[in-house]
Every structure is written in C-alpha cells, then in structure tokens.
Amino acid sequence: MPLEILTIPCLSDNYAFLAHDAASGETALIDASEPGPILAALEEKGWNLTHVLLTHHHWDHVDGLPGILEKHKAKVIGAKADAHRLPPLDLAVSEGDTFTVGGAPVHVFDVSGHTVGHIAFYMPESAAVFTADSLMALGCGRLFEGTPDQMWASLSKLAALPPETLVCSGHEYTQSNARFAMTIEPDNPALISRVDEITRARSANKPTVPSKLSLELATNPFLRAHLPEVQRNLGMSGAEPARVFAEIRGRKDRF
C-alpha cells in the first residue's frame, strides 16, 4: 500500500514531508528545517517518527533535527558523501542504495548540483520522489557547489522517473519560478495554464508543492533544455543540452 504523505510548511518558505505507513506505524520525515510544525503534525496525526531522511547539509533542512530527536528516537539517514557536514547519521547511503520505510522500498539518487552530495529519495510504491533543492516546482536549486553538467545529469535522472511521480520539493518558490519560465517559453500553452493556476493558489495562500513530474516535464524550463523549441528560443539550436541548461540557469541567477 502507498504511504500517506503529508506536506508541512516550515520557516518562511520551506517544506518538510512525512511519509506514514498505517500497517506498521512507521513514519519518515524528509528534511528537518524546524521542530515546531513537524512535531505538531506528528502529534495531531498520532504518528510516531521512526526515520529522518536528510537530503543535504544546508541549515534550513537540518537545523530542526535536535529538537525533533528530543521527542522521537528516530533513525537518521543521509548521504555518505556528505556525512562530514550532516548531523550524526545512523545510516549513510549512496546512489543505488535501497532501504525500507514501513516495508516499502526507498531508493537513493545522487542529485548533486545545488550541493555536492545532495541526494533524493524515491518511493516507487507511493509514486513520490523527495527532491528538496534539486528539482523544484518550475525550477531547480541554485548551483552553490556543483556544476551545470552535474545538475543536468541529476535532473535527467529524475526526469526519467514515471510521469505520474509526485515531486516533493523543498521550497515555495513556484510563483517567482513561473515568472522566469515565461521568459524562456512565453508561448507554451501548458506553462501559461500553469501560471494561472499558481496565481490562484498563491492568492488563496495554498501551496504549489508537491507537483506531478508530468507537469514539470511540460513546463519546467530546467527539464526542457534538450527540446528544439527551447533551444530555438535561446538562439542555441543544436547545442548540447547541458550547455543550454547552463544558459537557462545563468539567466535565472540574473533574473
């Protein structure tokens, strides 16, 4: 059975996620920005936290962990490559590793780019991938440590997942990402429709995360660098996709 996934707004624009298995009672937290909202959600649901999955070392994804572990003695899982700058790990994982939550497999992807050592967690039985600051709703993370080639390779892995996969990303940046996306593909009908939906959602103070991978493939410029229409709009027809991605990322950085 799929895990029940709960989206928790944290800080000013972060998201954490809980994935709960009713049969076993096991519950995983993906990223730990601050304890208050996460502990409140666990209490409201009556869930016991058994696992914490950390995507990368940035403070807004890990600083809430001590306060959470005071209340729940959970197993902390994170990247082996990033263990030197993550909180202490009970299980250090690398790309290709699999572990279970509630008996359901969780696959580990290296999605370096935003940071080197950033990982994503894919739960195929729940059709969900937890991408934090790699693939985001209508965007991708800024390249603080990695290269455009690394990030393009990471995004390409995620783009190859089944299109019905739910992309559970780490921030509410979608409205600003949408404004930028329109500068790349102003005539994309799927994007135009999505921008309208985002505007309505944010006007009602509703989250735009998570999103379906199929929607990202149709509208997210960072996943579309290989497409002739995107390359043509940038004056880069026939260029290597990683180079086109780098151009898009550079434009976003200056936007």
CB 79 within 8 A of CB 117: yes
Predicted confidence (pLDDT) per residue in 171-226, tens digit: 999 999 999 999 999 999 999 999 999 999 999 999 999 999 999 999 999 999 99
Write out the catalytic residue numbers.
Answer: 56, 58, 60-61, 114, 133, 171
Answer whether 0.95 is exceeded by the pTM. yes
Show Cβ contacts of residue 178 under 8 Å, excluding neighbours closer than 6 positions. 138, 191, 194, 195, 198
- Any idea what DSSP says for residue 43? H
**For strand 104-110 and strand 166-169, is the pairing parallel, antiparallel, or unpaired?**
unpaired
Per-residue confidence (pLDDT) for residue 121, from 0 to 100: 98
CB 48 within 8 A of CB 27: yes
Helix or strand run (H / E) with residue 228: helix 228-233
Residue 1: which pLDDT band, with cuts at 50, 70 and 90?
confident
- State the amino acid at position 187 in one-letter form: D
* Structure-token pair, residue 249: 């990322």
Q: What is the largest CA-CA distance in the chain?
A: 55
Q: Which residue in 108, 11, 127, 102 sits closest to 53, CA to CA?
A: 108
Averaged pLDDT for residues 150-165? 98
Q: Is 190 helix (H, G, I), strand (E, B) or coil?
A: helix
3-state helix, strand, coil in the chain (%, to 5): 40, 25, 35
Residue ranges for the binding site for Zn(2+)? Answer: 56, 58, 60-61, 114, 133, 171
Residue ranges for the binding site? Answer: 56, 58, 60-61, 114, 133, 171
Show Cβ contacts of residue 148 under 8 Å, excluding neighbours closer than 6 positions. 113, 242, 243, 245, 246, 249
Predicted confidence (pLDDT) per residue in 52-99, tens digit: 999 999 999 999 999 999 999 999 999 999 999 999 999 999 999 999
Predicted confidence (pLDDT) per residue in 14-24, tens digit: 999 999 999 99
Predicted confidence (pLDDT) per residue in 98-155, tens digit: 999 999 999 999 999 999 999 999 999 999 999 999 999 999 999 999 999 999 999 9
Per-residue confidence (pLDDT) for residue 229, from 0 to 100: 97
Q: Which residue in 244, 216, 246, 218 sits closest to 232, CA to CA?
A: 244
**How far, in Å, CA of 107 to CA of 125, rounded?**
11
Q: Where are the domains of the chain?
A: 4-254
Residue range 4-254 in CATH 3.90.1150.10? no
- Size (the chain), residues: 255
Averaged pLDDT for residues 35-62? 98
